[in-house]
Structure 1
Amino acid sequence: MTNRYLRYGDRRFIINRETEARLHRALDKVYADGSAGHEWLNLYPDSEAECRLLIAAGVPITIETEPYLDAPA
Protein backbone atom coordinates (compact mmCIF):
# COMPACT_ATOMS: atom_id res chain seq x y z
CA MET A 1 0.00 0.00 0.00
CA THR A 2 1.31 3.45 -0.87
CA ASN A 3 1.24 6.47 1.38
CA ARG A 4 -0.89 9.28 0.00
CA TYR A 5 -0.35 12.95 0.73
CA LEU A 6 -2.21 16.16 0.13
CA ARG A 7 0.16 18.96 -0.78
CA TYR A 8 -1.46 22.27 0.12
CA GLY A 9 0.76 25.21 -0.75
CA ASP A 10 4.12 24.35 0.79
CA ARG A 11 2.73 21.88 3.37
CA ARG A 12 2.12 18.13 3.06
CA PHE A 13 -0.53 16.13 4.96
CA ILE A 14 -1.02 12.36 4.99
CA ILE A 15 -4.51 11.41 3.80
CA ASN A 16 -6.62 8.34 3.14
CA ARG A 17 -9.10 7.57 0.35
CA GLU A 18 -12.07 8.88 2.36
CA THR A 19 -10.33 12.24 2.91
CA GLU A 20 -9.46 12.40 -0.77
CA ALA A 21 -13.12 11.81 -1.66
CA ARG A 22 -14.17 14.64 0.69
CA LEU A 23 -11.54 16.86 -0.94
CA HIS A 24 -13.03 16.17 -4.38
CA ARG A 25 -16.52 17.02 -3.09
CA ALA A 26 -15.18 20.28 -1.62
CA LEU A 27 -13.49 21.13 -4.94
CA ASP A 28 -16.74 20.44 -6.80
CA LYS A 29 -18.51 22.91 -4.49
CA VAL A 30 -15.76 25.55 -4.83
CA TYR A 31 -15.92 25.50 -8.60
CA ALA A 32 -19.72 25.15 -8.88
CA ASP A 33 -21.70 28.01 -10.39
CA GLY A 34 -23.03 30.32 -7.71
CA SER A 35 -20.72 28.99 -4.99
CA ALA A 36 -19.10 31.09 -2.29
CA GLY A 37 -15.74 30.27 -3.86
CA HIS A 38 -14.37 28.43 -0.86
CA GLU A 39 -15.04 25.44 1.44
CA TRP A 40 -13.44 24.27 4.68
CA LEU A 41 -12.06 20.73 4.69
CA ASN A 42 -11.42 18.95 7.99
CA LEU A 43 -8.62 16.50 7.21
CA TYR A 44 -9.00 14.32 10.31
CA PRO A 45 -12.65 14.53 11.47
CA ASP A 46 -12.41 11.55 13.85
CA SER A 47 -9.31 12.88 15.59
CA GLU A 48 -8.95 15.24 18.52
CA ALA A 49 -6.33 17.13 16.51
CA GLU A 50 -8.25 19.63 14.43
CA CYS A 51 -6.73 20.26 11.03
CA ARG A 52 -8.88 22.32 8.69
CA LEU A 53 -7.83 23.67 5.32
CA LEU A 54 -9.49 26.40 3.33
CA ILE A 55 -10.12 25.04 -0.14
CA ALA A 56 -10.39 27.95 -2.55
CA ALA A 57 -9.86 28.69 -6.22
CA GLY A 58 -6.24 29.46 -6.97
CA VAL A 59 -4.74 27.62 -3.98
CA PRO A 60 -2.29 24.99 -5.27
CA ILE A 61 -3.43 21.50 -4.21
CA THR A 62 -2.01 18.17 -5.39
CA ILE A 63 -2.27 14.54 -4.34
CA GLU A 64 1.07 12.76 -4.09
CA THR A 65 1.85 9.08 -3.60
CA GLU A 66 4.90 7.46 -2.12
CA PRO A 67 5.69 3.93 -3.35
CA TYR A 68 5.48 1.01 -0.99
CA LEU A 69 9.10 -0.08 -0.67
CA ASP A 70 8.69 -3.29 1.37
CA ALA A 71 7.00 -5.24 -1.42
CA PRO A 72 8.04 -8.91 -1.68
CA ALA A 73 10.66 -9.60 -4.35
Structure 2
Amino acid sequence: MSNNLQRLTALVGDNQSKTVATVTAVNADGTCKVQLNSGVAITVFGEGYAVSDKVYIEAGRVLAKAADLPYTEIEI
Protein backbone atom coordinates (compact mmCIF):
# COMPACT_ATOMS: atom_id res chain seq x y z
CA MET A 1 0.00 0.00 0.00
CA SER A 2 1.31 3.45 -0.90
CA ASN A 3 1.61 6.42 1.40
CA ASN A 4 -0.33 9.67 1.04
CA LEU A 5 2.46 11.48 -0.81
CA GLN A 6 2.64 8.78 -3.48
CA ARG A 7 -1.13 8.85 -3.94
CA LEU A 8 -1.14 12.65 -4.23
CA THR A 9 1.73 12.57 -6.74
CA ALA A 10 -0.19 10.03 -8.82
CA LEU A 11 -3.16 12.43 -8.94
CA VAL A 12 -1.43 15.74 -9.64
CA GLY A 13 1.92 14.63 -11.07
CA ASP A 14 5.39 15.52 -9.91
CA ASN A 15 6.07 18.20 -12.52
CA GLN A 16 7.58 21.55 -11.74
CA SER A 17 5.24 24.50 -11.62
CA LYS A 18 4.31 26.30 -14.82
CA THR A 19 4.88 30.03 -15.17
CA VAL A 20 3.40 32.56 -17.57
CA ALA A 21 5.91 34.84 -19.30
CA THR A 22 5.97 37.36 -22.16
CA VAL A 23 8.22 36.74 -25.17
CA THR A 24 10.57 39.70 -25.66
CA ALA A 25 12.86 38.27 -28.37
CA VAL A 26 12.98 35.26 -30.69
CA ASN A 27 16.47 33.91 -31.40
CA ALA A 28 17.62 31.97 -34.49
CA ASP A 29 19.00 29.11 -32.36
CA GLY A 30 15.55 27.89 -31.25
CA THR A 31 15.39 29.90 -28.04
CA CYS A 32 13.26 32.80 -26.86
CA LYS A 33 14.02 35.51 -24.36
CA VAL A 34 11.06 35.94 -22.02
CA GLN A 35 10.18 38.28 -19.19
CA LEU A 36 8.46 36.93 -16.10
CA ASN A 37 5.79 38.91 -14.25
CA SER A 38 8.42 39.72 -11.61
CA GLY A 39 10.48 41.54 -14.27
CA VAL A 40 13.23 38.92 -14.50
CA ALA A 41 14.36 38.10 -18.05
CA ILE A 42 15.44 34.54 -18.92
CA THR A 43 16.22 32.56 -22.06
CA VAL A 44 14.20 29.38 -22.67
CA PHE A 45 13.95 26.75 -25.41
CA GLY A 46 11.02 27.14 -27.78
CA GLU A 47 10.17 28.11 -31.35
CA GLY A 48 7.11 29.33 -33.22
CA TYR A 49 6.22 32.26 -30.98
CA ALA A 50 6.19 35.98 -31.72
CA VAL A 51 7.36 38.92 -29.65
CA SER A 52 4.71 39.94 -27.07
CA ASP A 53 3.10 36.46 -27.02
CA LYS A 54 2.23 35.13 -23.57
CA VAL A 55 3.59 31.59 -23.06
CA TYR A 56 3.69 28.89 -20.40
CA ILE A 57 7.22 27.90 -19.39
CA GLU A 58 8.40 24.97 -17.31
CA ALA A 59 11.94 23.70 -16.66
CA GLY A 60 13.50 26.09 -19.18
CA ARG A 61 11.15 25.22 -22.06
CA VAL A 62 8.12 26.88 -23.62
CA LEU A 63 5.14 24.54 -23.29
CA ALA A 64 2.39 26.40 -25.13
CA LYS A 65 0.89 29.78 -25.85
CA ALA A 66 -1.04 31.27 -22.93
CA ALA A 67 -4.10 33.51 -22.94
CA ASP A 68 -3.28 37.21 -22.80
CA LEU A 69 -5.04 38.06 -19.55
CA PRO A 70 -4.28 40.92 -17.16
CA TYR A 71 -1.99 40.10 -14.23
CA THR A 72 -3.27 40.88 -10.74
CA GLU A 73 -1.53 40.18 -7.45
CA ILE A 74 -3.56 40.17 -4.26
CA GLU A 75 -1.86 40.25 -0.88
CA ILE A 76 -3.69 38.58 1.97
Looking at secondary structure, tell me which structure has more helix per residue.
1
TM-score after normalising by structure 2: 0.25
> Given the two structures, how large is their TM-score scaled by the length of structure 1?
0.26
Q: Report 1 or 2 for greater relative contact order, CA contacts < 8 Å, sequence distance ≥ 6.
A: 1
